[in-house]
Amino acid sequence: MSGTTLDDYTDLYAQRVHGMKASEIRALFSVANRPEVVSLAGGSPYTAALPLDAIGEMVAELIQREGAPALNYCVGQGEAALREQICAVMAEEGVDASVGASPDDVVVTTGSQQALDLVARVFLDPGDVVLAEAPSYVGALGVFQAAEADVVHVQMDDDGLVPEALEEAIAAVAASGRRAKFLYTVPAFHNPAGVTLAEERRERILEICQRHHLLVLEDNPYGLLGFEEQPPAPLRSRARDGVLYLGTFSKTFAAGIRLGWILAPHAVRDKIVMASEASILCPPTFNQRIATRYFTTMPWREQLKVFRELYRERRDATLAALTDFMPDGVRWTHPGGGFYVWLTLPEALDSKAMMPRAINARVAYVPGTGFYADGSGTSHLRLSYCFPPPERLREGVRRLGHVIEEELSLRSTFGATGSAGAPRRVAGDVPPGIA
């Protein structure tokens, strides 16, 4: 069987593969994880704050008592006991039985990432349009791209998605003769923008979507991580129909067990289950039983308080450092919860082109272009404050401030197109990402 080369078979690739490119986040993982670099790039929760000994005991007991079924297959929808606990967690945010949320309409997934993917499979044909905030979660853009859908971004401001901009985007899509299937939105503590959709806009957004027969895909990983107050009630708590609601244990418990969920209208739920069975047979039984035990026997509300306090302190350290170290002309959002701050640089700067210098200065972030499907975002970047301790965050922001200052002084010396020190194509080696 010699004589062939490995690449001989790549001519067999599917259409959709030709657009697949490595994401920026991925290219960064390898460098950003070096110990000397302060990584403000990744969105990893601070799992060291979990009561690890107690969890270890809980899991050992679980294996002893119910190891045989826990280590075997389960039903594709996910175990009933966990779906009940999921309803208890959703109820904390007002998505409860009074608005029709029921364990029967929950599907357990491999993180909410898989829920996004399943929604794409059930609803998206190539060429369909998805409306999404500008910027949007990089993983969702990846899913929509893999589904060969077109993302049309809708403007946000400090109060989240702008209703008028949504109306305009819908009209523009219709005028171009295409069909938008749904609006993808992260209304609470947005990734990457760090903003929250204001109360007074919520009914309005729902009304617009309903009027235009658009599904709403509400992705809510951070809703329980408000630092001063809870965010306004989710869209799903205001509308039984037309909203697909995604949640995850990644940020409130443990990302490494990869469990999330979707709450969907009954008919849709059936299709989601079938798509999930074709994709993974069933979500990990063992992890489901761990989560069920955790949420039934351990003080998870107290643990949430621990997380909130921890992330609040880190956000505060980050915002204080930004005030102290950022040069004039840099702006940033003020997240009331979640993991992220969104920076806007002076127009002349390109956050992707700046990356190699930042890494050189031992600080990492995610360039803004990763969060847009249309190549925009060059003057933005995302900082995550969830993982490094406060003093590291401060040091990271200090380094970044320095890099931006140097960049600005280079620009004023060489003009907007010059980029002495590191040629522009260095940044080009970072692939254009999910965009």
Ligand X SMILES: Cc1ncc(COP(=O)(O)O)c(C=O)c1O
Q: Which two tokens stand for residue 194?
A: 């760090």
Among 31, 81, 91, 146, binds a copy of itself (CB under 8 A): 146
What is the C-alpha to C-alpha distance for residues 151 and 148, in angstroms, rounded to an integer? 10
Place of tokens 């992220």: 340
Q: List the alpha helices (DSSP H) in 52-182.
A: 52-70, 80-91, 111-123, 138-146, 163-175
Q: Is 139 in the site for ligand X (CB under 6 A)?
A: yes
The reply on whether position 34 binds a copy of itself by CB under 8 A is no
> How far is the C-alpha of 314 from the C-alpha of 72, rounded, in Å?
40
Binding site partner of 206, from a copy of itself, ligand X, none, Cβ cut-off 5-8 A by kind: a copy of itself
C-beta of 140 vs 403, nearer to ligand X: 140
Residue 74 or 349: which CB sits closer to a copy of itself? Answer: 74
The helix or strand, by DSSP H or E, that contains position 285, with its residue range, turns out to be helix 285-297
Give the integer Cα–Cα distance in Å for 111 and 115. Answer: 7
Q: Which of 78, 103, 135, 139 binds a copy of itself (CB under 8 A)?
A: 139
Task: Give the x-and-dash track for 220-249 against a copy of itself (CB under 8 A).
Answer: ------------------xxxxx-------
Binding mask 206-245 for ligand X (x = CB under 6 A): -------------x-x------------------------
Q: Which of residues 252-281 bind a copy of itself (CB under 8 A)?
A: 254-258, 265-268, 270-271, 274-275, 277-281
Please state, as a whole number, how many other Cβ atoms lie within 10 Å of the Cβ of residue 15.
8
Neighbours of 131 (CB within 10 A): 26
With CB atoms as reference, the residue minimizing the distance to ligand X is: 111
Report the alpha-carbon distance of residue 216 to residue 245 in Å, rounded. Answer: 8
306 phi/psi in degrees, rounded to 5: -60, -50
Q: Is residue 152 classed as helix, strand or coil in its secondary structure?
A: strand
Closer CB to ligand X, residue 137 or residue 372?
137
Q: How far is the CB of 340 from a copy of itself (least distance, A)?
A: 15
| Helix, strand or coil, per DSSP, at residue 377 | coil
Residue 226 interacts with which of ligand X, a copy of itself, none, CB < 5 to 8 Å by class = none
Helix (H/G/I), strand (E/B), else coil: 391: helix
Unique residue bearing structure tokens 């929509």: 144
Among 68, 175, 302, 328, binds a copy of itself (CB under 8 A): 68
Min dist. Cβ of residue 371 to ligand X (A): 11
Which of 39, 287, 292, 369 touches a copy of itself by CB under 8 A?
Answer: 287
Count of residues in contact with ligand X, rule CB under 6 A? 15
8 Å CB contact between 10 and 18: no
CB of 159 to a copy of itself, least distance (A): 21
Site residues for ligand X per CB under 6 A: 43, 111-113, 137, 139, 186, 191, 219, 221, 248, 250, 255, 260, 281
